[in-house]
Amino acid sequence: MNNLAIFASGSGTNAQRIIEYFLSKSGTKVRILLTNRKNAGVIERVKKFDIPVKVFDREDFYGSDNILKILLAENTDWIILAGFLWLVPKNLIENYRGKIVNIHPALLPKFGGKGMYGMNVHEAVIKSGEKESGITIHYVNEEYDSGDAIFQAKTSISLSDTPETLAKKIHELEYEHFPAVLDKLINS
């Protein structure tokens, strides 16, 4: 059995898709959701799946081993970042090196790094005049968005696209690919 821990900061659409995907698969289970926002939409989304939720603060995450202890107690094999905005601390990277995966809403290495999330990314992509964008599923290391890419999917950008229409295209790619790529990675 592969046990997953999902970290999320926002509404949780990707987290929900991952949970739903693995409900129908044997051998992999989402054991816990961790969030740094007590009012994150993801908390409400996961209630119906009977998955425990742990809300933590900066001190828990960066100043102690509390989160690592939770992950170990849940027998976590993989950490999945699904809209999680904080840089992962060294103690988690060291204990889960090569087992932490993130999704980014652009084709890395372009449009990555601190502050490049959500609409910030789509606005920058549109402003730059890029002809395509997409998603990058990648390993997590000590720096924002710089871990090795596992998978990328692209979409074209038309002259009429806005940051909002591009965001919709990117969400569709995320929903289509993220759970399946995780499944292949984890269970191969």
| H or E stretch covering 166 | helix 163-186
Provide the 8-state DSSP code for 124.
H
Provide the 8-state DSSP code for 88.
P
Parallel, antiparallel or unpaired: strands 28-35 and 2-8: parallel
> Is there a catalytic annotation at residue 138?
no
**What share of residues in the chain are helix, strand, coil (percent, to 5)?**
40, 25, 40
- Give the N- to C-terminal CA distance of the chain in Å, as an integer: 13
R_g over Cα of the chain: 16
Q: Which of 104, 122, 138, 177 is catalytic?
A: 104
CA 184 centroid distance within chain: 16
Query: Quick one: which of 85, 82, 74, 107 has its CA closest to 17?
Result: 82
Structure tokens at 151: 């998978």
Query: Quick one: which of 143, 139, 151, 149 has its CA closest to 176?
Result: 151
| Catalytic machinery residues | 104
